[in-house]
Amino acid sequence: MKPRRQPSIRRLLIVNNRMITVLIILPLAVIALLFFFNTRQYNQMISNVNQANEIRSQASAHIESSIWDTVSGKSTAAAPTRVICQLSARLTTLQAHTTTEDQRASLGFAVRTLKTLASYVDQLKTNIAQHQPVDDNVALFNQTKQVDELLDETLGEYVVAEINQTAAKSQDLLLLFYGFLAAMAVLVGVMLFLARRNRQRLQRSIQQPLNQILTFTGEVAQGHWDKPLADPGVQEFDQLTTELNQMTGQLQTLFSENTAKQRALAEAQIRVLQAQINPHFIYNSLDAILMLAQSGDNARVQEITMALSDFFKITLNKGSEWLTVGKELRHVEDYLAILKIRYGPILTYTVSADAAVKAFQTPKMLLQPLVENAVYHGIKNSRRRGIVTVTAALVADHIVFTVQDNGIGMDAATLAAVQAHMQQPPDSRIEGGYGLFNVAKRLKLLFGDRAELTITSEYKRGTTVIVSLPQLPGKE
């Protein structure tokens, strides 16, 4: 089942930015509009109170005095009429800006009161034009005073009501401010929650694919190329995943080709080794057969001839480069038997193996170069009776060969030089000690790090070579 695909990181960032933008702008826009309308109403109420106070002050200061001046003859009736008209217009405008019905009704009553005053002024103008008695005009003036007082009282009530409403609106603004703080706190909490969730989503979208890639590259570095990198489920990693899988496939192909070439090289080298069997060994073996035949020792002639025949038969091995451990041990035992007949009592040997190990596969001619090295570079340089011991055993999941001699051995400097040569890459050229180093190179080419050749030695005490290689079931 394919993993559920996550949105691309770019898409996720765009959605997150839009969400955060909406969460910031929308509440702020709503709160700003509420503040704007409430503040506008509050300012309008303050303006209404100021205008009402001005109208009230002008009415008290100008209406009564202008009417009295008209009664006393100091001025014409046009002056109070002009004042009343101005005040009436301002009241009408103030009424239009008033929000409550009760206050608008109060201002409507004030406008009608001014109309009453205007009718009294008109009556006064008529009386003056008709030269009515002064007492009539004074009585009419007293009536206008009462109407003026009623207007003042009405405007005062309006001012008090507007102030109370302004106080209520101020309280509303305060509550709105507290609501704004609460909304901002909630908004900050929501944004922190969303930011944490989005961070976790981004971390999953980035960290998990990166961890998969790091694990994959670690497996590739260890040579595990059989499992491709899984689909990360994130768009930005698709191309990287595809290219890594392609690169791994190409590496696996190149490795397989290189392994095949190395195996071919190893097989070519064993053929070279087979062709380079010391001619002196063949000549000396034939000379030994001739001398034994001349001396009439037919039994030993038969023994050395059969050993030499079996040695070359196993060497050829019908063209196969692999054989069983049992055959490899028989091959080296034939070799030692021939040398034993030639060198006589100065050479003894033992070849032993666990029964279970003999059926496993091993590269052919793996032990003969090591035994040859033990005899010609170890025992021949020693003045005591030589002993060569060859063993094979199963240790865990490996086959372990041991070739040990009691020859001259090596000092520490020589041993260090030999071990240094053993660590060189398979394609390096080695001068001297060809057989030993050839075995080491073949093991690296065939098995890589799964096989190991170690050598220990002590001067005048002998040398031990241990070969460890993975178990391969026999084909015979």
pLDDT of 47 above 70:
yes
DSSP 448: G
Percentage of the chain with pLDDT > 90?
18
Domain segments of the chain as ranges: 9-200, 259-470
Residue 476 has pLDDT above 50, yes or no: no
- Residue 327 above 60 pLDDT? yes
Higher confidence at residue 325 or residue 384?
A: 325
pTM for the model stands at: 0.50
Asked if residues 458 and 400 have their Cβ atoms less than 8 Å apart, the reply is: no
**Above 90 in pLDDT, residue 358?**
yes
**Own/partner long-range contacts of 429-436 (Cβ < 8 Å, ≥24 apart):** 433/373, 433/377, 434/276, 434/369, 435/273, 435/368, 435/369, 435/370, 435/372, 435/373, 436/369, 436/370, 436/373, 436/465
pLDDT category of residue 64 using cuts at 50, 70 and 90? low
Spacing of C-alpha 174 from chain mean position = 49
pLDDT at 432 (0 to 100):
43
pLDDT at 236 over 70: no
pLDDT digits (tens, 9 = 90+) for 392-449: 999 989 999 999 999 999 999 999 998 888 877 655 554 445 678 888 888 888 888 8
Q: Are strands 452-458 and 462-470 parallel, antiparallel or unpaired?
A: antiparallel
Q: How far apart are CA 439 and CA 468, in angstroms?
A: 12
The segment with the largest mean pLDDT, out of 61-65, 117-121, 342-346, 425-429, is 342-346
Kindly state the helix (H) or strand (E) to which residue 2 belongs, with its residue range.
Answer: none
Pairing of strands 347-353, 386-395: parallel
pLDDT given at position 267: 67
CATH number assigned to the domain covering 9-200: 1.20.120.1730
| Mean pLDDT of the chain, nearest integer | 80
- For the stretch 15-25, pLDDT in tens is 777 777 777 77
pLDDT given for residue 78 in this prediction:
63
Give the lowest-confidence range in 101-105, 181-185, 263-267, 327-331. Answer: 263-267
Domain 259-470 bears CATH identifier 3.30.565.10: yes
Rounded-to-integer distance, Cα 423 and Cα 26, Å: 73
Predicted confidence (pLDDT) per residue in 79-120, tens digit: 777 877 888 888 888 888 887 888 888 878 888 887 887 787
- Give the whole-number percent of the chain exceeding pLDDT 70: 86
Could you give the C-alpha distances from 172 to 32, 167, 271, in angstroms and in order? 14, 9, 104
Q: In this structure, are strands 462-470 and 398-405 parallel, antiparallel, or unpaired?
A: antiparallel
Query: What residues contact 277, with CB distance under 8 A and at least 6 apart?
Result: 315
